[in-house]
Amino acid sequence: MPRLDDVARAAGVSKATASRALSGADGVSPATRAKVQRVADELGFRASGAARRLATGLTRTIGVLTPSVDRWYFGSVLHGIAHAADSHEHDVLLYDLGAFGHGGHEKFERFMRRGEVDGLVTITWSLVGGDLTRLAELSIPVATVGEPTPHTRSFCLDDDAAGRQATEHLVRLGHTDLLHLASQTEVQPFDASSSDRRKRAFEAVSAEHGLRMRPVRTVPTTLEGAHAVALHFLDRPDRPTGIVAGTDEVALGVMLAAHQLGIRVPEELSVVGVDDVPSAAPFGLTTIRQDPAQHGEDVVAWIMGAMRSRGRRGGDASQPDRSHTGYAPELVVRASTAPPRP
């Protein structure tokens, strides 16, 4: 494996000049630069990342903290992040904190201990209170996607609008007896998780239109979990005529349960979800669409910008950007919603 020294010698220049030539810094004549680059190519030179990081202090890596990677939303965000990071010539260091609470804290501690990233994005807050504030210890840009947060720059669906749109869609169809299924948030450091905001939007719309007030139910975020609970609360005469689910997975679980109980969707029960997962379409699920991969791309774009501004000292004094981006939801009407039976 050739070193920079070898390239320099072969090109007849000093290590310093070779470094400048290859890194694109100026102060090198075009002729010299071309020669060095050619020689480097011929020798198959690849700069040692370790040496570069040691010298520059930059890792060209961004870290991702995620509660888990095998759920549609998280996976899609991660996909967007990976794509964007790659196009910025950055690597992605993945920290799968695992099942919530399940040793997640220890993994977080190890992450902090290594801390070899230039920027960090957390997908949802899967951290407990104490850990949250510790993130400030790393003096690197931090952003969150999936939940609005007061501590960091954040990106996610406008949950309030999403909850409203879903509920109002059913109200417009004539429903007056709705039930909201909030998906369970395992860790909930703030009083305004995504799930909460959707729930409040539901309650607000319910109140505005004088709907029957049923207490919101909290169910597991998975299809199978929601299905199991739905089998119980759907199997009674005073069930609602429509259900606003916090998530497509939940909505699909409900549709399945309804089907198994002989309740026809949408004739006897309307169901709306949020997400627009790929299987929502074939199941005919009416839902609120969001594009997590795009969120991932955007968060990386922001991180890159933030890294640049820290780069040039002076932007340092300015307040860190803790603003929030809420994406506009888009209602997708399919076959799972209809006017209630008279």
Q: State how far the Cα of 249 lies from the Cα of 260, in Å rounded to an integer.
A: 17
55-58 contacts at long range (C-beta below 8 A, 24 or more positions apart)? 58/118
The residue range among 50-58, 95-103, 170-178, 230-238 that interacts with DNA, by the rule CB under 7 A, is: 50-58
By CB under 7 A, name the one of 55, 94, 99, 281 that touches DNA.
Answer: 55
Number of residues that bind DNA (CB under 7 A): 33
Q: Where are the alpha helices (DSSP H) in the chain?
A: 4-11, 15-23, 30-43, 49-56, 72-87, 104-114, 129-134, 159-172, 194-208, 223-233, 248-260, 280-283, 292-311
- Burial (Cβ within 10 Å: 0-12, 13-18, ≥19) of residue 18: buried
By CB under 8 A, name the one of 8, 65, 82, 299 that touches a copy of itself.
Answer: 82
Strand pairing category for 91-96 and 286-289: unpaired
Tokens representing 47 are 């700069």
By CB under 8 A, name the one of 128, 204, 228, 261 that touches a copy of itself.
Answer: 228
The residue range among 26-34, 63-71, 88-96, 134-142 that interacts with DNA, by the rule CB under 7 A, is: 26-34
Q: Are 184 and 221 in contact (CB under 8 A)?
A: yes
115 binds DNA (CB under 7 A): no
The contact pattern for DNA, residues 257-296, with x = CB under 7 A and - = no contact, is: ----------------------------------------
Distance of CA 178 to the CA centre of its chain: 29
Distance of CA 168 to the CA centre of its chain: 26
By CB under 7 A, name the one of 34, 38, 56, 129 that touches DNA.
Answer: 56
The residue range among 18-26, 65-73, 205-213, 287-295 that interacts with DNA, by the rule CB under 7 A, is: 18-26
By CB under 7 A, name the one of 10, 37, 44, 52 that touches DNA.
Answer: 52
Strand pairing category for 330-332 and 286-289: antiparallel
222 binds DNA (CB under 7 A): no
By CB under 7 A, name the one of 34, 38, 42, 51 that touches DNA.
Answer: 51
By CB under 8 A, name the one of 19, 59, 184, 193 that touches a copy of itself.
Answer: 59
The partner in contact with residue 114, picked from DNA, a copy of itself, none with C-beta cut-offs of 5 to 8 angstroms by kind, is a copy of itself
Residue 94: C-alpha distances to residues 72, 121, 135, 162 (Å): 16, 10, 16, 29
By CB under 8 A, name the one of 43, 69, 192, 331 that touches a copy of itself.
Answer: 69
The partner in contact with residue 281, picked from a copy of itself, DNA, none with C-beta cut-offs of 5 to 8 angstroms by kind, is a copy of itself
Q: State how far the Cα of 322 lies from the Cα of 96, in Å rounded to an integer.
A: 24
Closest residue by Cα to residue 138 from 124, 157, 155, 118: 118
Q: State how far the Cα of 5 lies from the Cα of 14, in Å rounded to an integer.
A: 8
Judged by the rule CB under 7 A, the positions of this chain that interact with DNA are: 1, 3-5, 12-17, 19-20, 22-23, 25-33, 45-48, 50-52, 54-56
Judged by the rule CB under 8 A, the positions of this chain that interact with a copy of itself are: 46, 48-51, 53-54, 57, 59, 61, 64, 68-72, 75-76, 78-79, 82-83, 86, 89, 91-96, 98, 107, 110, 113-116, 222-224, 227-228, 252-253, 256-257, 278-279, 281-283
